[in-house]
Amino acid sequence: MSRTATAILSTENLLHNLQVIKNQVKPSKIIAMVKANAYGHGIRSVGLRLDGQVDMMGVASIDEALALRKAGVKTDILLAEGVFEQNELLIAATEKLHVVFHNQTQMEWLDKSTLPLPIHAWIKIRTGMGRLGFGPNEAHQSYEYLRGHTKTHKPVRVMSHFACADDKKHPLNAQQMDIFKSFIQDVDSEFSLCNSAGIFNFQDCYYDYVRPGLALYGISPIPEKSALELGLRPVMTLQSSLIAVQRFDKGDSIGYGARRTYDADIPVGIIAFGYGDGYPFTTKDGTPVLVNNIPCPLVGRISMDMMAVDLSACPHAQIGDPVLLWGDKLPLEYIAKHTDHIPWNIITGIQNRVKFMWTRM
């Protein structure tokens, strides 16, 4: 019998979350971010379920874009980090991909390329994130250059990215908004600024396109608000089962490093799931899981293939009983608070030995 580590993925919840976002931002268009294997949910499966439901899909590389095309996805695709070498421009033109330009080298590659079709071009400007993009002083010149280029479709669209949108009161947010607004005030085009957190915190910044990522998968991007409060439902329910149940005596310890020693006799269950499956190694004692839908605290260090749980609240649990690690009744963002990780880091870390099972489309 194979391991019982399973991720149940809900088509219904994915489409529900999309509708929540659409209702929030209408009439703005949706660029669904499916990079990083659709935030750990499976880029092909998510892409096919969103095909025709969103205006565009956002990926980090041309390999991700080609995986979507090979799977049969016909929706427009945005290369959010642009091309990494010159020959990718030919592929982008052939596949009619949207390409973000964020440095001078990429524009030089455009000059040197022979393309069968013009490129759908975006320009990224730096407003405060400090990663990719043209600085405000050079952005206007670069934009005009792309806008006048014979190898680009018109309009050339403009984007930037919030650095602190999850903290509504952070002063950098207002600074970024001002820089972006100043840049686009004389530009006749389409614009995009908001990520998931921006969608729920900055209604005045939706512009023409928003780019939901985490929220699309039913996880709150706002630390002080739950997914439920935002109307979102988790797409992934992660579950396994007990593979051992035993009695621990007072003074016994469990796990590597003997981190946890018991001060009373307790029943302990062993779950077939560990950091080798993607559960965070840094998870602390007391983190809840649901055994037979009853909250039980984790005890001891997470192992590669297993974790231990105090069954005092569920003393009649047996081998084979179901365990829910996160999902509809136990939000991932709540689990993240018991670790040294963020939800993005955890959800993209689920490994391929976990069985993925989608509900029907």
Percentage helix, strand, coil for the chain under 3-state DSSP, each rounded to 5: 30, 25, 45
Beta strands in 236-310 (DSSP E): 236-248, 253-254, 260-261, 266-271, 288-291, 294-299, 307-310
Question: How many whole angstroms separate alpha carbon 88 and alpha carbon 253?
Answer: 55
Q: Residue 205 in contact with residue 224, Cβ under 8 Å?
A: no
Question: How many whole angstroms separate alpha carbon 83 and alpha carbon 98?
Answer: 10
What's the one-letter identity of residue 171? P
Element (H, E) at 204: none
Q: What is the dihedral of CA 297, 299, 302, 303, to 10 degrees?
A: -120
Catalytically annotated residue among 22, 26, 29, 35 = 35
Best CA proximity match to 336, nearest among 346, 327, 328 = 346
Q: Residue 295 in contact with residue 321, Cβ under 8 Å?
A: no
Q: For residue 124, indicate whether it is catalytic.
A: no
Q: Which residue has the tokens 């998968």?
A: 217
Give residue 219's Cα distance to chain centre.
Answer: 9
Element (H, E) at 324: strand 322-326
Q: Which residue has the tokens 């005045």?
A: 204
Q: For residue 26, indicate whether it is catalytic.
A: no
Catalytically annotated residue among 256, 329, 337, 355 = 256
Q: Residue 297 in contact with residue 338, Cβ under 8 Å?
A: no
Catalytic residue annotation: 35, 256
